[in-house]
Homo-oligomer: A and B are copies of this chain.
Amino acid sequence: MNGAESLLATLAANGVDVCFANPGTSEMHFIAALDRVAGVRCVLGLAESVATGAADGYYRMARRPAATLLHLGPGLGNGIANLHNAGKARSGIVNIVGDHALAHRRFESPLRSDVEAIAAPVSHWLKTSASSLEVARDGAQALAATRDGALGRIATLILPADTAWGPGGEPVLAPPPNVPAAPQASAVRAAANVLTELGSRAVLLLGASGVGERAREAAAAIAARTGCRLLAEFYNARMPGGRGRVRVDRLPYGVEAAVEKLAGAERLVLAGAAEPIAFFAYPGKPSELKPPGCRTLVLAEARDDVPAALEALRDELGATAARVTAPDRSFDIEALRNAGALSADVVGDVLAALLPENAIVVDEAVSSGRAFGPCFAAAAPHDWLAVMGGAIGFGLPAALGAALGAPGRPVLALEGDGSAMYTPQALWSIAREGLPVLAVIFANRAYRILQGELNGMGAAVGGPKAAAMLRLDQPSIDWVALARGLGVPGGRAQTAGDLVREVERGFASGGPYLIEVVL
């Protein structure tokens, strides 16, 4: 057993069953080990951003880390954006990066780079294996480092080529991760007092595992009992939604709207959420969204057992279940089929109406997707995965990973055309693995979000050169041709009738499908 085999066996022994790889020469022994060590399915991405984004999506559904396999500093570089997103989503990943053999690293070869320095900004844990005999132990340490209570972490293990090809040790079991902290009685009592005293002048803000079903049911009971306002963060790594589930409004994305939503709040009670901060800074607008003078009370940190904390608070208050679900609403698919022109509402309704039971929605629609919330509240029950670090190019890779992390569940990937162009390579991997992913591309032929941001920034000029930088026409991207080129069939929708037909076709196919929605 060589070092690579000992690492692969360690991964398998600890329950890592998928590796998203874009390997190079220095990773060849790891690749060769795939035929000698059972238990890890290796999924090829044609760009590293596919591998790292897929690992993020995988973790969110499987609740256990996947491994990645990247090639030296530049390969890692290509994966950084989605590692950033995964880190912000608190997804656990064993991020394996090959490097030159230890003795070769001192030479100025073309691919020499400081892999550790490139990895550090996106790694919670980082180590370079120093010997093939230690690779298994290092792998087990990396695995242990992917968990911090309820949160995942990015553990980067750098694997010099000779630590892969030299003699390996025995596989090593990782120590059990620390469990999420139980509710703190003092925090629960303090929250009960604040919410009881302030009522609607308090906001209970949910984040991380606080947006799950159990947590939301407890939170709804708390709100019904105390009259406090209940909100979730705007972006959530995984948020259950749809019919019959407790509805929780999200804090809006826009600074003005968020400030207005929090107006009058004297206290924020955080349950897995962070202090609410504007996504970007804008001239003359605040970074902090809560009102001046509003204080914060932490019921539970994101790494803690947030659902248990909310249930403890509910019990402390003597509250009983209060299911505030979305208003009953049914879709008239025949009316939608004849709705004619595509508006955001019509698109949202069609997608929500046709969403299969237990689907996973990956949301990177950016500007086009903002209006979909109310539509999907009435859709079949589903999980909603948002890009958490703001780095676009997450969606299609995450759809790949989510489909592998929750086998059999259909995946709907909502993509802006601008967003999807960062990582179209993921379509090929989705085709190769034959996954039930329906990718819907909102083709507004623009960085529409930036057209708004240009104004929001007070940078408005409307000159032709600036405008040209935000337009994706000339040429317009033919998404159906592009997808076919990558092995994914698809169709185009210009009317509501087209969209109904294509969405039905896509979900019915049971395999990959892409729809270009012309807006």
Q: In the complex, A103→B277 CA distance in Å?
A: 12
Cβ-based interface call for A243 (8 A): no
Contact: A459 with B32, CB < 8 Å?
yes
Residues of B within 8 Å of A77, CB to CB, are 77-81, 83-84, 122, 391
Which stretch from A140-148, A311-319, A460-468 is at the chain B interface? A460-468
Residues of B within 8 Å of A487, CB to CB, are 475-478
Contact: B104 with A278, CB < 8 Å?
yes
Q: Mark A361-400, 1 if CB is under 8 A from B, else 0.
A: 0000000000000000000000000001111010000000
Contact: A42 with B78, CB < 8 Å?
no
Contact: A280 with B26, CB < 8 Å?
yes
Q: A423 → chain B, closest Cβ, in Å?
A: 8
Query: A81 with B74: in contact, given A165-B283, A281-B103, A288-B107 (CB under 8 Å)?
Result: yes
Contact: A162 with B283, CB < 8 Å?
yes
Cβ-based interface call for A406 (8 A): no
Residues of B within 8 Å of A461, CB to CB, are 32, 35-36
Q: Which residue from chain B places its CB closest to the CB of A473 in the assembled complex?
A: B432
Q: In the complex, A34→B24 CA distance in Å?
A: 40
Q: Which residue from chain B places its CB closest to the CB of A432 in the assembled complex?
A: B474
Which stretch from A55-63, A112-120, A195-203, A338-346 is at the chain B interface? A112-120
Cβ-based interface call for A257 (8 A): no
Q: Indicate which residue in B28, B475, B484, B485 contacts A454 across the interface (CB closer than 8 Å).
A: B28
Which stretch from A43-51, A215-223, A498-506 is at the chain B interface? A43-51
Cβ-based interface call for A457 (8 A): yes
Residues of B within 8 Å of A483, CB to CB, are 485
Residues of B within 8 Å of A88, CB to CB, are 110
Q: In the complex, A80→B422 CA distance in Å?
A: 15
Contact: B469 with A42, CB < 8 Å?
yes
Q: In the complex, A319→B343 CA distance in Å?
A: 77
Contact: B454 with A24, CB < 8 Å?
no
Q: A129 → chain B, closest Cβ, in Å?
A: 15
Interface size on A, residues (CB 8 A): 105
Q: A469 → chain B, closest Cβ, in Å?
A: 5
Contact: B74 with A391, CB < 8 Å?
yes
Contact: B479 with A111, CB < 8 Å?
no
Contact: B103 with A84, CB < 8 Å?
no
Q: Which residue from chain B places its CB closest to the CB of A49 in the assembled complex?
A: B78
Q: Indicate which residue in B281, B431, B477 contacts A162 across the interface (CB closer than 8 Å).
A: B281
Residues of B within 8 Å of A477, CB to CB, are 428, 485-487
Q: In the complex, A131→B474 CA distance in Å?
A: 37
Residues facing B in A409-464 (CB within 8 A) are: 418, 421-422, 424-425, 428, 431-432, 449-450, 453-454, 456-461, 463-464
Contact: B121 with A161, CB < 8 Å?
no
Cβ-based interface call for A204 (8 A): no
Cβ-based interface call for A125 (8 A): no
Contact: A74 with B85, CB < 8 Å?
yes
Residues of B within 8 Å of A84, CB to CB, are 73-74, 77, 113
Contact: B466 with A110, CB < 8 Å?
no
Residues of B within 8 Å of A389, CB to CB, are 74, 110-111
Q: Indicate which residue in B165, B391, B481, B486 contacts A457 across the interface (CB closer than 8 Å).
A: B165
Residues of B within 8 Å of A280, CB to CB, are 25-26, 100, 104, 109, 111, 161
Contact: A23 with B469, CB < 8 Å?
yes
Contact: A110 with B482, CB < 8 Å?
no
Residues of B within 8 Å of A279, CB to CB, are 109-111
Query: A34 with B463: in contact, given A121-B113, A422-B78, A454-B28 (CB under 8 Å)?
Result: yes
Cβ-based interface call for A494 (8 A): no
Cβ-based interface call for A190 (8 A): no
Contact: B104 with A287, CB < 8 Å?
yes
User: Most chain-B CB neighbours within 10 Å: which of A36, A431, A457?
Assistant: A457
Q: Which residue from chain B places its CB closest to the CB of A85 in the assembled complex?
A: B74
List 12 A-B pairs, Cβ < 8 Å. A24-B450, A42-B469, A46-B422, A74-B84, A77-B81, A77-B84, A108-B274, A109-B277, A110-B235, A431-B475, A481-B485, A485-B485
- Beyond A23-B469, A32-B454, 9 additional contacts (C-beta under 8 Å) are A31-B459, A36-B463, A75-B391, A78-B80, A109-B390, A111-B280, A117-B120, A478-B485, A480-B485
Give the 9 A-B residue pairs with the shortest CB-CB distance, closest first: A35-B463, A475-B487, A77-B80, A482-B485, A74-B391, A104-B281, A481-B485, A101-B281, A74-B81
